[in-house]
Amino acid sequence: MAAINSVTDLTLDGDIAVITLNSPPVNALSFNVRDGLFEGFKAAIADPKAKAIVLICEGKTFIAGADISEFGGAQKGASLFEVQTMMEDSPKPVIAAIHGTALGGGLEVALVAHYRVAVPSAKCGLPEVNLGLLPGAGGTQRLPRIVGAEKALEMMTSGSHVPAKQCLAMGLVDSLAEEGKLLEGAVAFARKVLEQSMPLKKVRDREVTADPQVFADFRKANARKFRGFLAPEYNIQCIEAACTLPFDEGLKVERKLFMELVTGVQSAAQRYVFFAERQVWKIPGIADDTAIIPVATVGIIGAGTMGGGIAMNFLNVGIPVKIIETKQEALDRGLGVIRKNYENTAKRGRLTLEQVEERMGLLTGSLELEDLADSDLIIEAIFENMAVKKEVFGKLDKIAKAGAILATNTSALNIDEIATATTRPEAVIGLHFFSPANVMRLLEVVRADKTSDSVIATSMQLAKKIGKIAALVGVCPGFVGNRMLFQRQNQAQAMVMEGAMPWDIDRVLYDFGFPMGPFAMSDLAGLDIGWNKDTSKGETIRDRLCELDRRGQKTGAGYYDYDENRNAKPSEITEGIIKEFAAKTGRNQRDISDEEILERTIFPMINEGAKILEEGKAIRPSDIDIVWINGYGWPVYRGGPMFYGDTVGLAKVVERLKHYQSQMGDFFKPSALLEKLAAEGKRFQDMK
Ligand code: 3H9
């Protein structure tokens, strides 16, 4: 065994050289991995005893791509291009042995090998698009040459990880090795190559063509999904180049577009989000060995939309759920909705009927709170009323077994106060699911004053198990997500009174990248949610719309008018009502620029985020970004509100907030933290 460098070994198995990479956690192509590969291949090619070369990785995976943390830094060591040229031009057959995932630059390394062998559990993919990038090491030119333009379009714009069996069928992998016996399989394959004098196949020598219509159709079919993103379109252009240009010309197109993306703000945002999604699970102050409470059964109080959606999360992963209601009718309705949801999923082919029954078999209903005595986790999901919640928690305190977690799904109420209704506040926590709870990825885990570390750690782990992305937040009105949303809503409403029409505000936020603006959202949800017919405290525009039976999409009209296909049109009636309200309050309506709309809806959110950090209600700025991306449709290519603040520049954010403060008052007053960072020329990302 000869060490090439700290992460690479070169050994001989008879006449087969084996280069082994070992660079945890994922063998990413950091500079010493590239160096090791370069020197390893050089040595193996030079060694007269070696007739063929196998590249294999230790640990849980083959090379998972370029080292994302190295982007933007100075290049050092051998370049990936040099490594690839050395491999591809090797006079001895090179075989890549793949387990785990061969992703991005990792697959691009495998694609310059002459052959690829994988275990059945392995997966291959070019997921660069999810980092706002395209494969920048020849992948855009090589993949289509193997799998054809259509499959390449699908793989590269979705970033999917394709299972080895499918790779074999597509020709991306040449042979499967027995699970757990990759090295033996790859070495045997290398011997076969030698014995049968199989050719040194270079993917670059192959050809690919496609009907131009394929690209036009693909763009059209995915226009909605790709809206706002640069990377999918750039990936498509590279595949077009592969189909129309000689290999080296295609590579030049790839290089140019890759450089544009890697130096741009979208990719910076998406790379930041990649790390933010992993950071969010790390809770300072909670030791790794904190005791985890085994959760084998879950009780849910309330079989409404929220309770039912929450239940499905646990049923989906095989955890039995008992759901409690006060009336048989409500219970039956709730259980029926869950069944219907599963059956609809089955109709779409994403569940089998056996799976539907399996999941429903884990669900029981009851009218007795006492039936939760054996639940390890109890989640209260009833309407937002402090007195009622306290009563429920008081009862639970007597019913629940020792050590059970008592969670509330409140989105608004003070969990510290709810906890006072029990004798075990350390067991009480907020689990704020977002509607629809079986679909939305975000979970705000709300730590109250006395919540124990075990309860927090268990909640985070459970969130991961049910496929959520969880952010740990503190108790404050609206927690993180809704607290910031209030700022945006406040200004959206204010600007409507000042002269911007709802569709102006919606358009600006839609163009920014949100799936829809706040008024379109209200129309979708229904304007009568929380509608209080008692207008003695003053009537709002929304009240008036409801009175006119303009309650949103469901009544064919709300802020907007809708046609029979639910296409929204600006409404003269709404405009008239707004003008009348403005006149009543003596306001002069004026033209409001798109820039002002954007600044007044977004900058107060950034400011509120800073206050949340000051108060310690979120652990780090990137956690806030995770909340907004996963719970509120913030466009991932803008990295979340805090990252966006950084890209605008915090000094500019402060300057604009002060400008509005001088005109409209202290709603816009910059927080101390924001002022401090701006004065020091820092970003939220620089906070330690
Ligand atoms: C690329 O290749 C560009 C080229 O085309 C062009 C070159 C010129 N770099 O996800 P996990 C860390 S772009 C640096 O929790 P899992 C990760 O942060 C790249 N670090 O594990 C985490 O660190 P920590 C294309 C990376 O088992 C730890 O590894 N490739 C990288 O759930 C464990 O990660 C990709 O986009 C990286 N590339 O999933 C693949 N990857 O423990 C990105 C991971 O400190 N990676 N880390 O928090 C993945 O999709 C998953 O990590 C993987 C493992 C599926 C591999």
Kindly state the tokens that stand for 552.
Answer: 């949103």
Amino acid at 395: K
Mean pLDDT (whole number) for 4-10: 96
Name the residue at shortest CA distance from atom 19 of ligand 1.
65
CA contacts within 13 A on the Cβ side of 303? 25
Check: complex ipTM more than 0.95? yes
Kindly state the tokens that stand for 615.
Answer: 């108060």
Collapsing DSSP states into helix, strand and coil, what is residue 492? helix
Answer yes or no: are the C-beta atoms of 352 and 275 closer than 8 Å. no
Kindly state the tokens that stand for 412.
Answer: 């608004």
Q: Kindly report the number of other CB atoms within 10 A of residue 211's CB atom.
A: 11
Q: Which atom of ligand 1 is nearest to the CA of 139?
A: 5
Whole-number Å distance between alpha carbons of 273 and 638: 9
Whole-number Å distance between alpha carbons of 428 and 537: 36
Collapsing DSSP states into helix, strand and coil, what is residue 580? helix
Whole-number Å distance between alpha carbons of 166 and 347: 25
Mean pLDDT (whole number) for 548-565: 94
Name the residue at shortest CA distance from atom 32 of ligand 1.
278
Question: Longest C-alpha distance within the chain, in Å?
Answer: 94
Q: Kindly report the number of other CB atoms within 10 A of residue 118's CB atom.
A: 30
160 Cα–ligand 1 center, Å: 14
Using CA of residue 455, residue 460, residue 464, residue 467, what is the dihedral sign?
positive
Q: Is the CB of 506 under 6 A from ligand 1?
A: no
- Residue ranges and CATH numbers for the domains of the chain are 2-262 (3.90.226.10), 298-479 (3.40.50.720), 500-584 (1.10.1040.10), 594-616+620-686 (1.10.1040.50)
Mean pLDDT (whole number) for 609-637: 98
**Active site residue ranges:** 108, 128
> Which of 25-29, 301-305, 526-530, 555-559 comes out lowest in average pLDDT?
526-530
223 Cα–ligand 1 center, Å: 28
Collapsing DSSP states into helix, strand and coil, what is residue 37? helix
Collapsing DSSP states into helix, strand and coil, what is residue 545? helix
Residues 6+ apart with CB under 8 A from 278: none
pLDDT band at 530 (very low <50, low <70, confident <90, very high): confident
In sequence order, which ranges of 561-593 are alpha helices (DSSP H)? 572-584
Asked if the model's pLDDT at residue 531 lies above 80, the reply is: no
Q: Is the CB of 127 under 6 A from ligand 1?
A: yes
Amino acid at 562: Y
SS percent in the chain: helix, strand, coil, step 5: 50, 15, 35
The pair phi, psi for residue 672, each rounded to 5°, is -60, -40
Asked if the model's pLDDT at residue 538 lies above 80, the reply is: no
Q: Is the CB of 270 under 6 A from ligand 1?
A: no
Q: Kindly report the number of other CB atoms within 10 A of residue 614's CB atom.
A: 13
Asked if the model's pLDDT at residue 1 lies above 70, the reply is: no
Whole-number Å distance between alpha carbons of 209 and 116: 23
Answer yes or no: are the C-beta atoms of 560 and 545 closer than 8 Å. no
pLDDT tens for each residue of 252-298: 999 999 999 999 999 999 999 999 999 999 999 999 899 999 999 99
Please identify which residue in the block is written with the tokens 């009563």. 391
Q: Is the CB of 97 under 6 A from ligand 1?
A: no
Q: Is the CB of 61 under 6 A from ligand 1?
A: yes
pLDDT band at 532 (very low <50, low <70, confident <90, very high): confident
CA 97 to chain centre: 30
- The predicted structure's pLDDT at residue 109: 98
Answer yes or no: are the C-beta atoms of 122 and 98 closer than 8 Å. yes
* Alpha-carbon radius of gyration of the chain: 29
Q: Is the CB of 238 under 6 A from ligand 1?
A: no
Q: Please give the model's pTM, rounded to 2 decimal places.
A: 0.96
Answer yes or no: are the C-beta atoms of 104 and 162 closer than 8 Å. no
Residues 6+ apart with CB under 8 A from 471: 280, 442, 443, 444, 445, 480, 618, 623, 624, 626, 627
Amino acid at 352: T
Q: Kindly report the number of other CB atoms within 10 A of residue 101's CB atom.
A: 23
Residues 6+ apart with CB under 8 A from 230: 132, 261, 264, 266, 637
pLDDT tens for each residue of 124-152: 999 999 999 999 999 999 999 999 999 99
Give strand ranges (E) for 143-255.
162-163, 175-176
Pocket test for ligand 1, best of 26, 32, 282 (most atoms within 8 A of CB): 26
Asked if the model's pLDDT at residue 537 lies above 90, the reply is: no
pLDDT band at 533 (very low <50, low <70, confident <90, very high): confident
Asked if the model's pLDDT at residue 185 lies above 80, the reply is: yes
- The predicted structure's pLDDT at residue 586: 83
pLDDT band at 535 (very low <50, low <70, confident <90, very high): low
- The predicted structure's pLDDT at residue 585: 85
Whole-number Å distance between alpha carbons of 350 and 355: 10
Collapsing DSSP states into helix, strand and coil, what is residue 161? coil
pLDDT band at 431 (very low <50, low <70, confident <90, very high): very high
515 Cα–ligand 1 center, Å: 28
pLDDT tens for each residue of 147-175: 999 999 999 999 999 999 999 999 999 99
Whole-number Å distance between alpha carbons of 525 and 563: 17
Mean pLDDT (whole number) for 399-416: 96
pLDDT tens for each residue of 63-116: 999 999 888 777 888 999 999 999 999 999 999 999 999 999 999 999 999 999
Burial bucket for residue 164 (CB in 10 Å: 0-12, 13-18, 19+) = buried
Asked if the model's pLDDT at residue 587 lies above 90, the reply is: no
The pair phi, psi for residue 484, each rounded to 5°, is -75, -35
The chain-wide mean pLDDT, for the chain, equals: 96
Burial bucket for residue 161 (CB in 10 Å: 0-12, 13-18, 19+) = middle
Mean pLDDT (whole number) for 352-370: 97
Using CA of residue 56, residue 57, residue 60, residue 61, what is the dihedral sign?
negative
Picking from 593, 568, 591, the residue whose alpha carbon sits closest to that of residue 503 is 568
Kindly state the tokens that stand for 542.
Answer: 């929304």
Please identify which residue in the block is written with the tokens 């009105």. 477
pLDDT band at 628 (very low <50, low <70, confident <90, very high): very high
Kindly state the tokens that stand for 401.
Answer: 């077994």
Q: Kindly report the number of other CB atoms within 10 A of residue 387's CB atom.
A: 8
Whole-number Å distance between alpha carbons of 630 and 82: 39
Kindly state the tokens that stand for 240.
Answer: 């077009």
Pocket test for ligand 1, best of 23, 60, 68, 270 (most atoms within 8 A of CB): 68
**Percent over 70 (pLDDT), the chain:** 100
Kind of pairing, strands 16-21 and 8-13? Answer: antiparallel
- The predicted structure's pLDDT at residue 76: 85
Q: Is the CB of 57 under 6 A from ligand 1?
A: no
